[in-house]
Amino acid sequence: MTPSLREKAAAAPSTPGVYIMKNARQRIIYVGKAANLKNRLTSYFSGRNPTDIKTGVLVGRIASFETIQTPSEKEALILESNLIKKHRPRYNVILKDDKRYPSLRLDMKSDYPCLQVVRRIRNDGALYFGPFASAGAVRQTLKLIHKTFKLRKCTSTSVKPRSRPCLYHQMGLCLAPCCKSVSPEAYNDIVNEVRLFLNGRTAELTTKIKTEMEAAAGRQEFEKAAQLRDKLFAVEKTMEKQVAVTTDFVNRDVIGLASDSPYALLWVMFVRNGFMQGAKDFYVHDDTATGAEIIEAFLKQHYESTSDIPEEILIPCAHEDVALYTQWLSQKKGKKVRIHYPKRGDKVRLIRMAEENAQTRLASHVEAEMANQSLLEGVRQRLHLERLPRRIECIDNSGISGRELVSGMVVYEDGAPNKSEYRRYIIRNVDQADDYACMAEVLERRFHPTHTATDSLPDLLIIDGGKGQLNIAVSVLKQMGLQQAFGVIGIAKKDPERSETADKVYIPGRRNPLNLNAHTEVLYFIQRIRDEAHRYAVTYHRQRRTKTALRSRLDGIQYIGEKRKAVLLRHFKSIRRLKAASVEELAGLPGMSRRAAENIQKTLNAEE
């Protein structure tokens, strides 16, 4: 450890704050918080051997660090969480879930809220229910709600006026606020029933419905009482299927943790009003992370981005910063939140239930991971690569007759698509159907020094095409000085006219394609990546082609914007009828002026 880092640590302020560690390339590799920055930093650079392996590895890679002071340790916690989310440092524990679980969203800011299925929970003031274990579970819940409660079924943000109600209203499943007079109070009463149902407060809901049913029967409104009776039966039937796990009706999240080095899995059970409402799992691939570090990462990363904070959080191991996180979550919720490490009683039973689920899911995950590693090792051997292809990029071009030429790049990491890394390119310097020129342009842009300085290089690059496209790729990479940086292959479709039975895979320096007939799992994996790149590029090309086709001859005419263009096309239906209209007829339309009408006639006649 250089004396300069020790001196800088000794000069750090003795206040709460966040410290940011950087490596020799000035990339952020770790972000941490401290109640006393000076004490924490000097413990890193004291020269003594670190107490754990992770700290030892981290200290050996620190080239510099920065500090940010905060008014309190709570503000340091919030800032640390935001910086980890933004930079995703290498040595911080980053939780990953293998998929985004579906949830139900209810926007209470709307006059007539409706339920929407979403996969990302945002801190936008709306109510979120879930997450649900699968898309099938959320569809089943929605089907029951739509059948039992008369919420509107259209999922638009605001109610769009209609001239006649939809089929749902005719079936008695919607109040139709889009075309009928429905008071917000009456609609909100239904919304509150849906909230009770989704929050698991079904006993309270059944009491409310039963009271209304008896009141309707007392007023001799027997048809309404019968409807309430059917609603009551539906809710009671749902109660029979719910799994009760506690009897105290406290909203709590129960965390279970399982580990099998280098993997760990955290399983969270969402218990609301004593009933199991859903669960979610998070994976960690870090053999140096302790259980306390994983729990801390979950508290920061999960509750920072959600407004669904329960009254109690049960954790499977002790943590020294429980008081700090309790204070932060209580302030965020606006109500007392308790983080508890139970040692006996029913709460220990809940922890064990979560841990058993975590063990089961982790075993399944490890098995799938080992199968995936075996597949990647097979790819490495069959394609004669120097290293395991953890990051694979595949590029494909798309276009018709030289128009709207585009290219798409997909990225697979550890055998799975990473859609956040996908890239789309508009071909700029080619105006004809030249696949070679398009491939050269895209590769030059992808591997330009300005991009390779910040973006990760692949372990394997797949080119959709035969020997010609592969040779172009090799030539471009040689010009960039990357010919030895990673492996590159080309894959061409089989030609039935030549009696070919399988797609052909080419590698540089080899005239004939590789024979992968005996290793179909490797060939299928490469084909799957190629097909995904093809789908991605073709979809982008169709989007651009559709956008071009929908351009109107009114675009670009002075004084004609989107609103006036919509009025004109809605009234005249076609450009031919619009040209035949007089200036007075054009100017008489809503929102039009005589100057705009004259300009339309002048422009269209000039085109003629």
pLDDT tens for each residue of 335-366: 999 999 998 888 898 899 899 989 998 988 88
Q: Tell me which of 173-177, 255-259, 476-480, 490-494 is least confident.
A: 173-177
The Cα-based distances of 116 to 14, 113, 196, 308, 455 in angstroms read 49, 9, 17, 17, 36
Rounded Cα distance, 408 and 452, in Å: 18
Could you tell me the CATH superfamily of domain 3-87? GIY-YIG endonuclease (3.40.1440.10)
Q: Is there a shared CATH topology between the 3-87 domain and the 562-607 domain?
A: no
For range 118-123, the mean pLDDT: 76
**121-149 residue pLDDT tens:** 777 778 887 667 667 777 777 777 877 78
* Architecture in CATH of 391-547: 2-Layer Sandwich (3.30)
Within 10 angstroms of residue 98's Cβ, the number of other Cβ atoms is 12
- Report pLDDT for 607: 62
**487-509 residue pLDDT tens:** 999 999 888 878 777 889 999 98
Rounded Cα distance, 199 and 381, in Å: 53
Rounded Cα distance, 252 and 472, in Å: 59
The one-letter amino acid at 110? S
- Report pLDDT for 244: 55
Cis peptide before 417 (omega within 30 of 0): no
**pLDDT > 70 in the chain, percent:** 92
- Report pLDDT for 218: 85
Rounded Cα distance, 367 and 384, in Å: 26
Does the pLDDT value for residue 328 go beyond 80?
yes
- Report pLDDT for 390: 92
**282-292 residue pLDDT tens:** 888 877 788 88
Structure confidence at residue 60 as a pLDDT band (50, 70, 90): confident
Does the pLDDT value for residue 2 go beyond 80?
no
Does the pLDDT value for residue 186 go beyond 80?
yes
The one-letter amino acid at 372? N
Higher-confidence position of 309 and 172 = 309
The domain made up of 252-365 has a fold known as Nucleotidyltransferase; domain 5 (3.30.420)
Please give the torsion angle defined by the CA atoms of residues 246, 249, 251 and 253, in that order, rounded to the nearest 10 degrees. Answer: 0
Domain map of the chain by residue range? Answer: 3-87, 103-241, 252-365, 391-547, 562-607
- Report pLDDT for 185: 84
pTM more than 0.85:
no
CATH code of the domain occupying 562-607: 1.10.150.20
Does the pLDDT value for residue 380 go beyond 90?
yes
- Mean pLDDT across the chain: 84
Does the pLDDT value for residue 200 go beyond 90?
no
